[in-house]
């Protein structure tokens, strides 16, 4: 659970500074995905507004006879990041790195640290962060969009702007995540991104996040012994 939370936090920190800030064409949207694989099958609905400062991701997965649901809301108000578990009514609040006065070199250093952490610890969740695993890239028209095809040792991704439309994993288990419906630059009700009032928040600072990373490092090292 801590690893998943940390993934969301690092994603928000990284995306706020690079990917979404550069996208001046897609400001809102709703993407529906199917998930098929050897172990799990299901659906995911990803919606966003205001150039992704508001993001909502609802996932339903079936693993055999077990049904697993996830309903996550992510908000960046310019001062803090909020990662909210709507099912558990809990959330984490992280101060925005850019809310503190930083030099340009400090911002670059922070961005590089965020990239490194994502690459080191989350390649099995987000394999695109591991640039070394990318074998080749090309282009293809998929779902009516001109996509960049990124091929790695165990994965292939179709990417349109900052959006992954198709993600195929071949090892250790086969898994396919593929868009089935997509609407962009549409009006989305603001109520979709308003968290309930009864959310219990945990305030996290960068020292605590660093401690979480160290705990994951220690756990990973011990498992590999």
Asked, for residue 74, whether it belongs to a domain, the answer is yes
Asked, for residue 62, whether it belongs to a domain, the answer is yes
Asked, for residue 157, whether it belongs to a domain, the answer is no
Asked, for residue 137, whether it belongs to a domain, the answer is no
pLDDT tens digit sequence for 83-136: 899 999 998 888 765 545 556 665 566 556 655 655 554 444 444 444 445 566
Range of the domain at 72: 2-126+164-223
Asked, for residue 60, whether it belongs to a domain, the answer is yes
Against a cut of 0.85, is the pTM above it?
A: no
Asked, for residue 132, whether it belongs to a domain, the answer is no
Asked, for residue 67, whether it belongs to a domain, the answer is yes
Q: How many distinct structural domains can be found in the chain?
A: 1
Asked, for residue 158, whether it belongs to a domain, the answer is no
CATH code of the domain containing 79: 2.50.20
Rounded Cα distance between 3 and 110, Å, is 20
Got the DSSP string for the chain? -HHHHHHHHHHHHHHHHTTTTT--S---EEEEEEEEESS-EEEEEEEEETTTTEEEEEEEEEETTEEEEEEEEEEE-SSEEEEEETTTTEEEEEE-GGGS---HHHHHHHHHHHHHHHHHH-TTT-GGG-GGGEEEEEEEEETTEEEEEEEESSEEEEEETTEEEEEEE-SSS-EEEEEEEEEES----GGGGPPPTTPEEEEE-HHHHHHHHHHHHHHHHHHT-
pLDDT tens digit sequence for 187-211: 998 888 988 888 988 887 666 766 7
Confidence check: pLDDT of 18 > 50? no
């Amino acid at each position: 659970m801590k690893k998943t939370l940390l993934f969301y936090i690092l994603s928000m920190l990284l995306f706020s500074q690079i990917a979404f800030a550069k996208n001046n064409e897609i400001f809102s949207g709703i993407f529906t995905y199917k998930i098929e694989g050897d172990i799990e099958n299901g659906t995911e609905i990803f919606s966003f507004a205001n150039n992704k400062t508001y993001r909502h991701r609802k996932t339903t997965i079936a693993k055999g006879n077990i049904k697993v649901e996830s309903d996550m809301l992510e908000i960046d108000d310019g001062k803090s990041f909020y990662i909210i578990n709507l099912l558990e009514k809990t959330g984490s609040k992280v101060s925005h790195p850019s809310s503190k006065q930083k030099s340009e070199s400090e911002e670059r250093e922070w961005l590089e640290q965020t990239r490194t952490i994502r690459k080191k610890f989350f390649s099995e969740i987000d394999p695109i962060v591991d640039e070394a695993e990318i074998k080749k890239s090309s282009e293809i028209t998929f779902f009516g969009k001109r996509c960049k095809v990124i091929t790695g040792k165990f994965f292939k991704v179709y990417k349109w702007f900052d959006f992954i439309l198709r993600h195929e994993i071949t090892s250790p288990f086969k898994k396919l995540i593929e868009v089935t419906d997509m609407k962009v630059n549409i009006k989305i009700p603001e109520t979709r991104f308003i968290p309930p009032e009864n959310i219990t928040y945990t305030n996290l600072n960068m020292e605590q996040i660093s401690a979480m990373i160290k705990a994951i490092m220690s756990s990973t090292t011990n498992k590999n012994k």
